[in-house]
Structure 1
Amino acid sequence: MTPADPLPPYAAVVLAGGRAARLGGRAKPQLEVGGRTLLAAVLAAVPDAGPRVVVGPPQPVPAGVVVVREQRPGGGPVAALRAGLTAVDTDVVAVLAGDLPFVPPELVRDLRGRLVDDGVLVVDDTGRDQLLLGVWRAAALRRALGAAGGPTSVRRLVAPLSVTRWHPSREPGRPPPWTDCDTPADLARARAAAGEPDRG
């Protein structure tokens, strides 16, 4: 900790796997919005995390970023989270999807400041939990993973934990931080929101 950052140190696990079948099977984290890749945008939201861990296939990452692979490859977000936590040695960890082009560092810092129980996550405008946009006690996640009896979803994994839900305010006209890019239409909307010309 430094005087400028009184919050506890934290790591970041970015889930950047999956086949992106609805995007033609392309490596989704390497698609660009606003002149940078989706993965670069997410990593830019956690510049002070250590370590920064990307879970997924080998792909370009900045120096110092750790890349690990879930077992089995493509096994889903819970398997990816399990793999990512093996590289985490801090008590606090941010868990983020790798396809969020508009997550600002301030939001991650606000989440860290709101962590009082096992975890805190963002709730979107519809009241839906954004399970891959949150900050957690690493021990709580490991405990939940250890209790999982088999394949499960992130929602079921964290259901037994004590979780704070937070709906962040946002500036009018700015894309919400939970904007993701699962489909070609999602990607086009994100690019339009970033001021890119229509690619047709």
Structure 2
Amino acid sequence: MTASPELRESLDGLTIPKLVRACMALHRSTAGTATAAAVFTLRLLARRVEEPDHEIAALKQQITDVIRQHIPQLLDCYGVGPDTAAALLIATGDNPERLHSEASFAALCGVSPVEASSGKTQRRRLNRGGDRQANSALYTIVLARLRWETRSRSYVEQRITEGKTRREAIRCLKRYVARELYTIIIRAHARPREQALAA
């Protein structure tokens, strides 16, 4: 606000990414002036904003490379990104054979149905147990599918017409996604062991 009007007007109305790039490109003016101090500060802040973005990109690339090396099929699933895949693999652990079925994987991720029937009302509610990061990863995958995949949208609409609430329909879809991803994870872990036995 205290910078010169020319500087303020050149940066006015820009989106945050454009503003950061514009601040990085500012030319230094004569030292000792208020404009020089403002430019120095803006360039410093822009660098501070950009640095975490570079770190995030580098870490995401590292995670992607590790997942592609071990379970590339997981990233090929619709809506699964490196962050969500990593969260699910961390929840599964080094020994996925301890999960005897996809139902146990769903329980681990907190997407198995919990009986909440009372009297004549028969219903199931959301599971509030399990690994919350894995549950959040499945929810993120479901949101991506609901936004871009017509099959998932029609599935949720069908469940709603059957009398379920939107939250219950999303819980059912999370359970379906957990079943699909469990199969991929188990097959990927079983393959190296089969190769070792064959050798």
Query: Which has more radius of gyration?
Result: 2
Q: Tell me the TM-score normalised to structure 2 length.
A: 0.24
The higher relative CO (CA closer than 8 Å, separation ≥ 6) is in: 1
Query: Of Structure 1 and Structure 2, which has the larger fraction of its residues in helix?
Result: 2
Q: Tell me the TM-score normalised to structure 1 length.
A: 0.24
Query: Of Structure 1 and Structure 2, which has the larger fraction of its residues in strand?
Result: 1
